[in-house]
Amino acid sequence: MRYSSENFSDFEFHDTELYFKDCENSNLRVTARHLNIHKEAEENPYDCDMETDCAEILLENADIRLFETMEMYTYGYDGSVIGFEPRTVCEGGEAADRLIDELKKGVSVNCIDVCSDKDGTFLSVTSNSGFIAVIYFGRAFIRWDDYHSKAWYEGF
């Protein structure tokens, strides 16, 4: 690929769509649509934040440790609660299965935070559909071939 970065802070993940590509040898690969790169990033030759053309994210030694759904309420026209889905927490293999199932359908994310603790570096992925996933990894590579347009929030 033409461009690449190992720095998640170069990117804005608000409303980015992630799709499962493969998971081989503990490496998780997803494609990303509507991924925006900050104008200050070394790989962005433009004077504004730009949306990349379809990008690929590779997480080496990926370890999906948590998949947590949020409590969901459904309300009737009169404001009364007519449905409720409780919070669920999955860890380990079950968390990996749930996240990969979601990625196969496609996931719109609200944000991705890069954090670290005594166990290493991890991503905290918050979806627009109501779940949070935690993925530990060794190294990350974000690659893309071209730019699609200015970021959606430029010009407001």
User: In this predicted model, what pLDDT tens digit does every residue of 39-72 receive, in sequence order?
Assistant: 999 999 999 999 999 999 999 999 999 999 998 8
Q: Is the pLDDT of residue 155 over 90?
A: no
Q: What is the dihedral angle through the alpha carbons of 33, 134, 37, 109, rounded to the nearest 10 degrees?
A: 40
Which stretches of the chain are DSSP H helices? Answer: 92-105
Gap between the Cα atoms of 90 and 26, Å rounded? 19
